Amino acid sequence: MNINKFTFIDLFAGIGGIRLGVEANDGRCVFTSEWDQYAQKTYYANFGEKPHGDITQISTDDIPDHDLLTAGFPCQPFSIMGDGLGFSDTRGTLFFDIERIIRDKQPHMLLLENVKRLKSHDKGRTLAVIKKILTDLGYHLHIKVLNALDFGLPQKRERIFIIGFKKNYDFRFPSHSLLTRQLTLEDILEDDDTLDDKWFASDYITEKRKQSVEHKTVFYPSVWHENKGGNISVLPFSCALRAGASFNYLLVNGKRRLTSREQLRLQGFPDDFIVCGPETQIRKQTGNSVAVPVIVAIVAQMKKAIAKGEIPEHERLATNQLPLFDGAFDE
């Protein structure tokens, strides 16, 4: 494998956020799967390729060999059989399709992304199942929750990343972005005077927001975040974009919603990136996507680790590294 010219596949691809991050590190995409029709249109508009559809219906014979498998896979319930970790039964879940592709194709590297709560889902048993499956398939794993706020974006977005290698490399998760500087809301937000009225909340909602922050410190620009309990926080960044959230849970300066372009910027997409579909679908696409600078930094570290070569056995033991987990899993 030429680490400066490696191939990858993009599973559960969404609109291609992971692809952008891997391509920034000289990766070449050889296969994509995404079932959502609107995400497929956006993907085609930007990459000139229509993703294959439902991964559960795709044979591994139809998937090219590749060096890196990437997947922002949905978190579904896992059942565990037997005592302790026991044996997993992933049939009926989408992780099963990742498992069968890895088993048949044996890529050298894995990059899996999921929501932070995967770490505690079913009291940690779900992640334990995933770890057991991947280690049984021969991968050395590195697992950590990273926040987009630490990678140059004004969005608090915590996601868990599972990195796997066929060999035992000295991989270290990045701690910051490769961007030259931290972006702020001033860099992200569009001018109110240029926006259509559709982006502005009603007078009723605006007044209600003002009343809720009467005894709080208010500054501008800011994003006013309403949590599930109805509490409003005035923040110098956006909370995580969510696919199915209320259109009003994030309001710029307490009076308008984030535009489609602003949402893409918060995820680190370039301004020439095209999104397709009605606004509800665009919110879903951006909310389901990844923070691109985080992917860029992770893959850069993966390349760096491989370039240094596998850790000799005596050095691994000398540094108290475990055979399968190197301490990057931040329990």
pLDDT > 80? residue 315 = no
Domain match, 177 and 202 both = no
Q: Quick check: 179 and 208 in contact, CB under 8 A? A: no
pLDDT > 70? residue 330 = no
pLDDT > 90? residue 180 = no
Q: Is the dihedral of CA 36, 37, 38, 43 positive or negative?
A: positive
pLDDT > 60? residue 241 = yes
Domain match, 131 and 207 both = no
In three-state secondary structure terms, 294 is helix
Q: Tell me what pLDDT residue 77 has.
A: 52
In three-state secondary structure terms, 246 is coil
Least confident of 95-99, 124-128, 144-148, 208-212: 124-128
Q: Tell me what pLDDT residue 133 has.
A: 92
pLDDT over 90 for what percent of the chain?
A: 73
Please tell me the distance from the alpha carbon of residue 262 to that of residue 188, in angstroms, as a whole number. Answer: 6
CATH assignment at residue 305: 3.40.50.150
Domain match, 237 and 308 both = no
Tens of pLDDT, residues 79-138: 333 333 333 455 457 888 999 999 999 999 999 999 888 888 777 888 888 999 999 999
The more confidently predicted of residues 245 and 330 is 245
Q: Tell me what pLDDT residue 1 has.
A: 74
pLDDT > 90? residue 168 = yes
pTM attached to this predicted model = 0.90
Which residues, including other chains, have CB under 8 Å from residue 219's CB and lie 6 or more apart?
A: 234, 236
Domain match, 154 and 247 both = no
Q: Length of the chain, please?
A: 331
Strands 250-252 and 223-226, bridge-based pairing: antiparallel
151 domain-assigned = yes
Domain match, 168 and 236 both = no
| Residue 167, domain extent | 7-181+290-318
The torsion angles phi and psi of 167, rounded to 5 degrees, stand at -120, 165
pLDDT band at 19 (very low <50, low <70, confident <90, very high): very high
Domain boundary among 235, 258, 281: 258
Strands (E) across the chain are located at 7-11, 28-32, 68-71, 79-81, 87-89, 109-115, 140-147, 155-156, 158-165, 223-226, 232-235, 238-239, 250-252, 256-257
C-alpha distances (whole Å) from 140 to each of 43, 125, 172 are 31, 19, 13
266 domain-assigned = no
Average pLDDT taken over every residue of the chain: 88
Strands 109-115 and 158-165, bridge-based pairing: antiparallel
Domain match, 44 and 158 both = yes
Domain count, the chain: 2
Q: What is the layout of strands, in order, in the sheet containing 256-257?
A: 232-235, 223-226, 250-252, 256-257
330 domain-assigned = no
pLDDT > 80? residue 297 = yes
106 domain-assigned = yes
Please tell me the distance from the alpha carbon of residue 265 to that of residue 249, in angstroms, as a whole number. Answer: 18
Over residues 140-158, mean pLDDT: 96
Rg (CA), the chain: 21
pLDDT band at 328 (very low <50, low <70, confident <90, very high): very low
Q: Tell me what pLDDT residue 321 has.
A: 43
Domain match, 162 and 206 both = no
Which residues, including other chains, have CB under 8 Å from residue 277's CB and lie 6 or more apart?
A: 38, 41, 42, 285
Domain match, 140 and 91 both = yes
Q: Which two tokens stand for residue 325?
A: 């987990």
Query: Which candidate in 29, 75, 239, 276 is catalytic?
Result: 75
Q: Which two tokens stand for residue 28?
A: 């070449």
70 domain-assigned = yes
The more confidently predicted of residues 87 and 166 is 166
Please tell me the distance from the alpha carbon of residue 201 to that of residue 185, in angstroms, as a whole number. Answer: 19
Q: Tell me what pLDDT residue 42 has.
A: 97
Domain boundary among 218, 240, 258: 258
283 domain-assigned = no
Over residues 15-20, mean pLDDT: 98
Q: Tell me what pLDDT residue 76 has.
A: 52
Contacts by 194-197, CB closer than 8 A, 24 or more apart: 195/256, 195/259
Tens of pLDDT, residues 30-72: 999 999 999 999 999 999 999 999 999 999 999 999 999 999 9
84 domain-assigned = yes
| Interior angle at CA 70, CA 62 and CA 289, nearest 5 | 115
30 domain-assigned = yes
Question: Is 239 marked active-site?
Answer: no
The torsion angles phi and psi of 318, rounded to 5 degrees, stand at -70, -30
Q: Quick check: 275 and 282 in contact, CB under 8 A? A: yes
Domain match, 170 and 311 both = yes
Domain match, 31 and 157 both = yes
Domain match, 102 and 121 both = yes
Domain match, 68 and 160 both = yes
